[in-house]
Amino acid sequence: MQGSFRHTAFIFLLAGLLAGCANLGAASKEPGVKGNADQAKAPELSKQRWMLSEGYSMLYTDASHLDLAELVLYVKVESDAVDKVVTDVAEAGGQLKKDLERIARDYPGVRIDLDPLPELEKRKRSAIAKDRARYFAPVIGHSGREYERTVLIGYVNGINHERHLCQVMAEAEPDASLKKFLLDAEKRYDALYDRITALLDKEYFKDPNGKTKG
């Protein structure tokens, strides 16, 4: 049962990354309830700080999804380079998660527990993930270059979302130390993005037999 759950969780992780989806694990709430309840907890937040806290909450949720180290065991890869990428992405997500938890403790104006996506947007993203999960389910337990390429493309999509989120948040963040944190996080995601795209370009934009597509 535990192994089956982890297999299913990895399918949805990969499907969500390929769909470029954030907050797939957020609990669904009734429209209109989420915003009123959250705002009642933190009436002191200005409109800008509320907007930024929505961004920090998205970063935290997405980092939590990337920090699924136990699911790395279900990425059946043959390449040491891909195995290292998957491990490093999980470690980056784990570190960012810890950093955001510390920031939320140290800065009263930063919250990481919001659920900013509208209900219909969450339903749409969930539908996309389920559709992609049905496609990817057969590859769990298998390996090979085509599967490795699928995993890498999934991480590229997810990390591309995160680095751009950090960028636009840094532009809006008035606190110098928080701005630096966001810029540093963007650089970490940029480095992972460049590294994975370089690996894809070099080794995986080919057919499964290793021949360059003409």
The pTM for the full model equals 0.77
pLDDT per residue as tens digits for the range 98-131: 999 999 999 999 999 998 888 888 788 778 777 7
Determine phi and psi for 111, rounding to 5 degrees.
Answer: -120, 145
pLDDT per residue as tens digits for the range 39-77: 445 447 789 999 999 999 999 998 988 887 556 556 666
Q: What CA–CA distance (Å, rounded) separates 6 from 9?
A: 5
User: What pLDDT does residue 3 have?
Assistant: 52
Comparing CA positions, the residue from 75, 74, 26, 30 lying closest to residue 54 is 26
Region 156-174: mean pLDDT is 95
Residue 211 covered by a domain: no
pLDDT per residue as tens digits for the range 18-37: 666 555 544 333 333 344 44
Which of helix, strand or coil describes residue 1? coil
Residue 59 covered by a domain: yes
Pure H helices in the chain: 2-18, 33-41, 47-66, 80-106, 119-136, 145-172, 176-199
The residue segments making up the domain with residue 142 are: 2-204
Comparing CA positions, the residue from 144, 141, 149, 155 lying closest to residue 8 is 141
CATH number at residue 26: 1.20.1260.10
Indicate the number of domains in the chain. 1
